[in-house]
């Protein structure tokens, strides 16, 4: 489940056992697949950084982010 997203990465909640440094493929992100590296872990919430993202995919993510409400982490207790 996506918690928040930006041009450079996202926070996700998953039951998959990930560790910091793992590389994952996520989709659909901006209309396709994106590779990311796990940078943070808090329980089942992970912060991932997108890697090797094309300029076109970055633009698609930017457009998506522009249509979303701003994230307020305090509301989720994160």
Separation CA 54–CA 12 (nearest Å): 21
Tell me what pLDDT residue 64 has. 85
Tell me what pLDDT residue 44 has. 92
Q: At 9, which CATH number?
A: 2.40.10.220
Q: Where in the sequence is the domain holding 53, given as residue range(s)?
A: 2-69
Strands 2-5 and 23-29: unpaired
Tell me what pLDDT residue 63 has. 87
- Dump pLDDT digits (tens) for 24-77: 999 888 788 899 999 999 999 999 999 988 888 888 888 888 887 776 766 555
- Dump pLDDT digits (tens) for 16-30: 999 999 999 998 887
Instruction: Say if 6 falls within a structural domain.
Output: yes
Kindly report the number of other CB atoms within 10 A of residue 71's CB atom.
14
Instruction: Say if 77 falls within a structural domain.
Output: no
pTM above 0.75, yes or no: yes
Separation CA 78–CA 61 (nearest Å): 23
């Amino acid at each position: 489940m996506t918690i928040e997203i930006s041009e450079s990465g996202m926070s996700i909640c998953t039951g998959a056992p990930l560790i910091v440094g793992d590389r994952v493929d996520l989709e659909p992100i901006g209309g396709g697949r994106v590779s990311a590296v796990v940078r943070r872990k808090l329980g089942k919430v992970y912060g991932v950084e997108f890697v090797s993202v094309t300029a076109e995919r970055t633009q698609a993510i930017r457009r998506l982010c522009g249509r979303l409400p701003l994230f307020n982490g305090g509301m989720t207790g994160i």
